[in-house]
Structure 1
Amino acid sequence: MTAPKPVIVIGLGNPLMTDEGIGTAVVGALAELAEAGKLSTDYVEYLDGGCGGMYLLHSIAGRRKVILIDCAKMGLAPGELRRFTPEDVNTVKQMTHLSLHEVDIMRVIELAEMIGQRPDEIIIFGIQPETIEPQMALTETLQRRVPEYLAALVEEILPG
């Protein structure tokens, strides 16, 4: 069995619910860049985490760095991107509902800590949705900003 790569980027979301699928869409675009040789796969793994869940515990356990991207209701303009840590989420979760997956992923992080497998660094990128309704496409607002989201994630991924 090979050791996991030190960095993992996980996109969360439901692509059947318009902007709720932004995390999986962005990680899919990152994976395509990596397959084309434009991003490293030497130390980074790219994972479509779907709607989250406890199975993600095995994906994050013992990693050096975990980068999560998800739709997040933050009361911002549609398409706005924010960078958080789990500690930031714990501070604001009483004020706002960050995402449908926030509770699941925060519980996964807690469990990783309880078993001594919490990653050294966890970064969460939240993107404010415009619409969440049954449809298999992002809104134009978010689709247009995907290159911006990719740039922010690439900057986070690069060592240094």
Structure 2
Amino acid sequence: MTTERSASGGNDAAGDAPGPDLAIVGVGNPLMGDDGVGPTVVERLEDSPAGSAAGVRLMDAGTTGFLALEGMSGAERAVVVDAVQTGETPGTIHEYRCVDGNFETDIPEMTMHDVSFTEAMVAGRDVYDLPDEIRILGVEPADVSIGDELSEAVEEAADELMELLIDRIDDTNAKSTATEHTGSEGES
């Protein structure tokens, strides 16, 4: 599901309005245990007061890498939430930053279930209007077997991610509000 709030507070389809300030895209399969952390976090954001913030697009991309790119297209900034296996303790949150199509540090292979994220970004740069800065928030899974519940460790990480993302949404709204007030004062 894609939800984008316009400055007037109404819902707009992702392609029907100017790009948002912030896109938050959840990736994963909620029927495979901890692999569903991305969609779970997006769903919880949609159900929270932060989910109705202007200038924010929330999208569950499922297991499709190119759909994740579509969710980010036109946004100023993007955050992708997914399960990422590195061998660390389950529930560990990893953050990776990609600027202008290049990751600042080595990242584990993120298959995004159909094509690697880096392959999708390289192929999609010419097709999608991707943000200059994309952050990946990867949660170390404990269990990716069939099941529709997150493990305790990943559930705690999802709560932590909610707080982090709500802070980013609040920062986005503060910047948008400041810009709107500055622009309207200049027009008087």
Superposition TM-score tier, normalisation by shorter sequence: 0.7 to 0.9
The structure having more radius of gyration, on CA atoms, is 2
Matched pairs, number: 153
- Using the size of structure 2 for normalisation, the TM-score is 0.71
Equivalent of residue 29 in structure 1, options 44, 58, 68 = 44
Of stretches 68-77 and 58-67 in structure 1, the one that deviates more from structure 2 is: 58-67
Question: Could you say which structure has the greater relative contact order, defined with CA pairs below 8 angstroms and 6 or more residues apart?
Answer: 1
Return the letter of the residue paired with 2:23: I
Equivalent of residue 134 in structure 2, options 118, 122, 125 = 122
For 2:52 and 2:89, locate their aligned partners in 1 and report how far apart those are by CA, in whole Å: 32
For 2:123 and 2:36, locate their aligned partners in 1 and report how far apart those are by CA, in whole Å: 25
For residues 9-28 of structure 1, the aligned pairs below 5 Å read: 9-28=24-43
Instruction: Tell whether the 8 Å contact from 1:63 to 1:118 is kept in structure 2 after alignment.
Output: yes
Q: Say whether 1:2 aligns with 2:17.
A: yes
For residues 136-155 of structure 1, the aligned pairs below 5 Å read: 136-155=148-167
Amino-acid identity (%): 24
For residues 87-102 of structure 1, the aligned pairs below 5 Å read: 87-88=102-103, 91-93=105-107, 96-97=108-109, 99-101=110-112
For 2:103 and 2:132, locate their aligned partners in 1 and report how far apart those are by CA, in whole Å: 16
Return the letter of the residue paired with 2:81: I
How far the C-alpha of 1:47 sits from its partner, in A, is 0.7
For 1:28 and 1:18, locate their aligned partners in 2 and report how far apart those are by CA, in whole Å: 15
For 1:78 and 1:138, locate their aligned partners in 2 and report how far apart those are by CA, in whole Å: 11
For 2:121 and 2:45, locate their aligned partners in 1 and report how far apart those are by CA, in whole Å: 23
Instruction: Tell whether the 8 Å contact from 1:79 to 1:129 is kept in structure 2 after alignment.
Output: yes
How far the C-alpha of 1:39 sits from its partner, in A, is 4.9
Equivalent of residue 105 in structure 1, options 100, 111, 117 = 117
Equivalent of residue 133 in structure 1, options 140, 145, 153 = 145
Instruction: Tell whether the 8 Å contact from 2:69 to 2:130 is kept in structure 1 after alignment.
Output: no
Equivalent of residue 68 in structure 2, options 53, 56, 75 = 56
For 1:145 and 1:135, locate their aligned partners in 2 and report how far apart those are by CA, in whole Å: 18
* Structure 1: segments with no counterpart, 5+ residues: none
- Using the size of structure 1 for normalisation, the TM-score is 0.82
For 1:44 and 1:6, locate their aligned partners in 2 and report how far apart those are by CA, in whole Å: 6
Instruction: Tell whether the 8 Å contact from 2:139 to 2:157 is kept in structure 1 after alignment.
Output: no
For 1:115 and 1:49, locate their aligned partners in 2 and report how far apart those are by CA, in whole Å: 17
